[in-house]
Amino acid sequence: MPNSSQPFAAKSSAFEIKKTFVQKSGRVKSVDLHPTEPWVLLGLYSGNVAIWNFSSQVTEKTFETGKSPVRTAIFIAHKEWIVVGADDGFIRVYNYKNCTIKMWNLGSSSPCSSIECHSKGLNSVEFFDSNNKLYFITGSDDYTAKVWDYETETCVQTLEDSSQVILGCDEGILVAQVIHARS
């Protein structure tokens, strides 16, 4: 047992912390580092995920995956995917670089459809039912939100703004949060 009158002397560690970064966020449930980009992926208790650039120290993207807490979020870099697991029991896959939505049938390894939907990065997708018809809405870095007919895979409405659009769905009511871009 060490002598309490002498200070504790720790052995030197095998690594040295060169720089510390701080980013205020909600309750973080998972963290993953991208293997080639200077990005940290955060899975948050709020149901959001965020990509934080540790070089520039800015948030690159943030979007809501659902209302349930995210328990794990990881990069699959060779596919340009983010895979997210949440308390609602769903595993969601997002492509963080392109502007395409791909849909799969359960049990199938290939997508049943692929839709080029925006000119810049896709940030969020929400599904909703209106008059017993299924739609989905997409939000993008191109400052548009688009409403799609799920069955025909056609765009039925485009909402344009000079702001970032973040989408959500609450008890069947579509919610769009608009964040105005700084001039």
- The tens digit of pLDDT for each residue in 12-46 reads 556 676 666 665 667 888 999 999 999 999 999 88
Express as a percent the part of the chain with pLDDT over 70. 69
- CA pair distance 142, 162, nearest whole angstrom: 9
Measured CA to CA in angstroms, residue 177 lies from 113, 147, 169 at distances of 28, 15, 11
Give the span between the Cα atoms of 176 and 183, in whole angstroms: 21
Please check the confidence at residue 58 and state whether its pLDDT lies above 80: yes
Taking domain 26-97, whether its CATH number is 3.40.50.720 is answered by no
Domain ranges of the chain: 26-97, 121-183
Convert the pLDDT of each residue in 126-135 to its tens digit.
777 788 888 8
Q: Are strands 81-86 and 91-95 parallel, antiparallel or unpaired?
A: antiparallel
Q: What is the pLDDT of residue 75?
A: 92
The CA distances from residue 79 to 5, 62, 68, 74, 165, in Å, are: 57, 19, 25, 12, 25
In which region does residue 65 sit, left (phi positive, over 0), alpha (psi from -120 to 50) or beta (all else)? alpha
Q: Strand pairing partners for 137?
A: 126, 147
In 3-state terms, what secondary structure has residue 78?
A: helix
First to last CA, the chain: 63
Give the model's confidence band at 99: pLDDT under 50 very low, under 70 low, under 90 confident, else very high. low
Choose the weakest-confidence range: 3-17, 98-112, 157-171. Answer: 3-17
